[in-house]
Amino acid sequence: MKYRFIDHPADIAFEVYGSDLRELFENAALAFYDAFVDTSKLKMEREVKVECEGEDVEIALYRWLNELLYLFDTEFFAARNVRAEVEEGKEIKATGTFEGGKFSAEMVKVEPKAITLHKFRVEKTDKGYEAFIVVDI
């Protein structure tokens, strides 16, 4: 399982899974797009590069999702395919290639407003990584 949506009274919440950080970041992006856009109707028009850094995994993933939200809001961009690379060192650096295109208003399921830090977490487990994310709508 890549991710699953969690019932939330006012926002969109999901858990994301990955055997490593690369897979965790890719699956977080896929969950984000699945929550807000019918990606099956996207015309694959272009690739978008995203880079972010963070002091730790939680901050890096938070910044990663904020970059996706920025592209969603400013360029009306969503992706069906995501490839990520994550470098661990003094800081976490994530770089991704997103294949997708511009979405139209009728493709939007619900509009995201902000990636929240409410209950935001990333945990290392015996199977890899697990994250919990809440997006304000």
* pLDDT value for 135: 97
| Average pLDDT value for residue range 28-49 | 92
Task: Tell me the three state secondary structure of residue 35.
Answer: helix
Global confidence as pTM: 0.94
Domain 3-136 superfamily per CATH: Archease domain (3.55.10.10)
Residue that the structure tokens 């709508």 belong to: 137
Question: Where do the domains of the chain lie?
Answer: 3-136
The mean pLDDT of 91-101, rounded to a whole number, is 93
More confident residue, 22 or 43: 22
Q: Indicate whether 16 pLDDT > 90.
A: yes
CA separation for the pair 92, 58 (Å, rounded): 9
Q: Please, are residues 123 and 129 in contact by the beta-carbon 8 Å criterion?
A: yes
What span, in angstroms and rounded, lies between the C-alpha atoms of 128 and 125?
5
Task: Report whether pLDDT(99) > 90.
Answer: yes
Partners of 109 in the β-ladder: none
Q: What pLDDT score was predicted for residue 32?
A: 97
- pLDDT band at residue 53 under the 50/70/90 scheme: confident
What would the two tokens of residue 21 be?
């950080």
Closest CA to 25 of 14, 16, 33, 34: 16
Quick one: pLDDT at residue 69? 97
Residue range 71-96: mean pLDDT, rounded: 93
Nearest Cα to 120, choosing from 130, 105, 110, 112?
130
pLDDT grade for 121, boundaries at 50, 70 and 90: very high
Query: Mean pLDDT across the chain, nearest whole number?
Result: 94
Res. 89 pLDDT band, cuts 50 70 90: confident
